[in-house]
Structure 1
């Protein structure tokens, strides 16, 4: 079976699970909004209309307006692009660096394993959001620096997950056979070890995307992430907290967008975990639970 056919079959099995179907639907909608946000909101995130300030949700403004008369729905749509961009780039940084560290540590073991994993333990010892704030204190606030900060925070998680998977795979017969015939380590790692460790990494990627989006919202809420005039769900929450009694919708709708997106990625991760488990996959393919 080709890689494309296998991916299609996996997505089909994920979609058969209620949580997986919900996750795919919500993530697909958010991605679509992020792709067409410039077309949906051609004027950008700062179309100020003072006479329309703090209008309650209505047919004209389904999510109301903020303190400057900006349409909350338009800002939520534009915020989807920022959240996904930060999430995917940050997790991409963590994925590449963490998987490389985990591969080397799990395959070579010994002193290299000890040095690499103790370094990861040092990073892992700090709470994620505090570590991200510390990195941003050095780099300065902004969307790009938030990507780097969140990426650094999640490197140890991918390193641990990859190392654990590699330790179990590296003793398999086909890996030892490749070593015995003198195959280069790079070929063994990327042709045999990594593909068989991929299921755990894929599940962790989905879960990490959820937490990366949540982390970006937290940093933007604190004024360390996305800066105005750009729109961000976290920054919108920060704006809305001062108007909770006058205009609850300013904080509710961006908060609900964060909740829904994070939930979708977590549910997708749960579905992927079941589908990529060989025993569960066999049951699902045979029509079981």
Structure 2
């Protein structure tokens, strides 16, 4: 079983490498991660370093993306804002991933009243629009980056719960699961040793897509003043600050907006590519094309 799983993931990696869009999006995300980790080294200026007399300076050799109304370098703030957006997105999706997968595993594996109780609660959360739910949670917890992570994590938990439950329902009646029960294996061992690994592909795809929407949600919350607070750099906050200067300093809003666009697009493209190679029917078609070549 272990070698079979390893060969399957190797085949998945090969199919991804054959997809030029997947490779391109992965490279973009790799660059973003490097920028997020080493932003302090790569940024030419500090995120709150002000240049008196250079306010609202257009893009130039000394300030590639221009300066804002405080004379701060927009390029440096965009670079340093990558770390904030990626951190908030990763932590928020991590919260929803852990909570949603556990709920989905329990609901899908045990069924009956456990399934009804857990999934009806998830349905209740899912009924609220995502952004309004996040705003409601922040109204209780208070504004700030940490609370924004928690709010976004709560919002996306039902999605992971539903995806996990659907996968578990298709796996729990497989022959090898019945064999494990018959051999006397406990529920904990069966769930985490057999059910979860075989239910993982849709969860992986959902994780990639949710990262895009989590970053978008953080930007939206920061845009309305509930997420990252000034003077910390945040793409959404920079968009909000640049809105009032759109006619005289278009660069203040353009470059953070492009950063959000490129990041979300890269995650979505990678998610679509993963969905294609992890879906059994699409996988067979892609494998056939590779063999034909």
| TM-score bracket for this pair, using the shorter chain length | over 0.9
Match of 1:98 in 2: 100
Shift of 1:61: 1.4
Shift of 1:178: 1.0
- Say if 2:236 is the partner of 1:234: yes
Q: Distance between the aligned counterparts of 2:79 and 2:4, measured in 1?
A: 37
Give deviations 1:159-187, integer Å, cap 9, x for gaps.
00000000000011111111122210011
Matches within 5 A, 1:51-130: 51-130=53-132
Q: Distance between the aligned counterparts of 1:194 and 1:3, measured in 2?
A: 13
Unaligned runs of 5+ in 1: none
Match of 1:189 in 2: 191
Does the CA contact (< 8 Å) of 2:44 and 2:76 recur in 1? no
**Structure 1 residues 258 and 53, CA gap change in structure 2 (3 angstroms):** same
Shift of 1:64: 0.9
Does the CA contact (< 8 Å) of 1:37 and 1:81 recur in 2? yes
Greater shift after overlay, 148-157 or 59-68? 59-68
Does the CA contact (< 8 Å) of 1:136 and 1:146 recur in 2? yes
Greater shift after overlay, 30-39 or 9-18? 9-18
The TM-score with structure 2 as length reference comes to 0.94
Shift of 1:11: 3.4
Match of 2:249 in 1: 247
Task: Tell me the secondary structure at the aligned position of residue 57 of structure 2.
Answer: coil
Q: 1:214 aligns with which of 216, 223, 231?
A: 216
Q: Distance between the aligned counterparts of 2:284 and 2:145, measured in 1?
A: 43
Match of 1:166 in 2: 168
Give deviations 1:27-46, integer Å, cap 9, x for gaps.
11110100111112375310
The TM-score with structure 1 as length reference comes to 0.96
Shift of 1:247: 0.4
Q: Distance between the aligned counterparts of 1:243 and 1:10, measured in 2?
A: 47
Q: Distance between the aligned counterparts of 1:15 and 1:151, measured in 2?
A: 31
Match of 2:155 in 1: 153
Shift of 1:4: 7.0
Unaligned runs of 5+ in 2: none
Matches within 5 A, 1:245-284: 245-284=247-286
- Say if 2:146 is the partner of 1:144: yes
Query: RMSD between aligned alpha carbons?
Result: 1.7
**Structure 1 residues 131 and 55, CA gap change in structure 2 (3 angstroms):** same
Does the CA contact (< 8 Å) of 2:43 and 2:75 recur in 1? no
Aligned residues: 289
Matches within 5 A, 1:10-29: 10-29=12-31
**Structure 1 residues 260 and 288, CA gap change in structure 2 (3 angstroms):** farther
